[in-house]
Structure 1
Amino acid sequence: MATSPITKQDDQTGVSPNCDSRDGAQVIWFLLHTQEGDGDAQSLAHYLQNADSGVSYHYTVDNSGTVIDVVDTDKSAWAVLSGNPRSINLCFAGSRVAWTREEWFSNMQAGIDCAAWIAVQDARKYGIPIRTITPEQLGNDEAGIADHNAYTIGKHKGTHTDVGPNFPWDYLNSKLAEYNEL
């Protein structure tokens, strides 16, 4: 029986001004992002708490198993343009689109475990199916778990390609299934 992979979780919601009301929009997506920089969950959260950054995520996660709650999931974080009111967004701190599959495992396997755990919990809370979806499915407003790239392709908005072509979706799917059994 699996237990939470999170080793430390710190609720810092209410600090970042970079959020809005969902204005009644239904949450249908749980989206993954890369930082494209160095740092850990706390340093990324600190950046997101600065009004001048103009960006935010609901969660930052790192490979130590640390999770920082940055924006309350009942609010809209600033991560995916017009998709913000309909999505929950998690960013892997210190991650890069260009990582190979092996780099994802060596640099972020524990973070992926945490992301899967959080995705299952939030999917249950908001009625999101616990399944990954393609860009085409996202573009058709089907609910599920995807990444910023799926939003870019599916909605034809923006230029972001994260989490990148080598992200281990098969591993994430296995963890989603495992945690959904609990």
Structure 2
Amino acid sequence: MHTDFWMGNDFLHMFSDDNNLVLKIELEDFEKNFAMAEYSNFVVGSESENYKLSIGKYRGNATDSFSGHNGSYFSTYDRKNDRAPECCPCAVTYGGGWWFHRCFESNLNGQYFRDPDESSYFRGIIWEQWLGNYSLKKSVMMVRSRGRVYSPTRNVQDGDLTRITYEDP
């Protein structure tokens, strides 16, 4: 897959409903540096629960920018489910739908910029604890069953992981 793609929250809810998934996030900057974050559990609630995010323990080298969103509801331009002041909904202010809490520490669905210097304040694909106000080149979210063992190689066999990818074509 070499384009922007989001599976949809209804699918993520159905897929994660058995409470047995591990989430792995791979990040890449424009200088070809890579970082990884993995969460021991990943569940997305139903639409009636505003797609509430539940994640487990963190491990990785990206410095954790997602646990602060744990328990948050998915916000979009037309559905403010974050805890930001009424004047400044996170999805409108920073772009993209995401599990915003009080807006940040991450937004992997932000606007894509071909150059990180083009992005304005925290508008872009952000993983704040790794690179701060820097719009990333690429992010990949992958899930696997907790019963499967992940190989640390970059070549992933079909069926081992389900990729949720965001990158420029």
Shorter-chain TM-score above 0.5: no
Tell which has more relative contact order, 1 or 2 (C-alpha 8 A, sep 6+).
1
What's the TM-score, normalizing by structure 1?
A: 0.29
Greater helix fraction, Structure 1 or Structure 2: 1
What's the TM-score, normalizing by structure 2?
A: 0.30
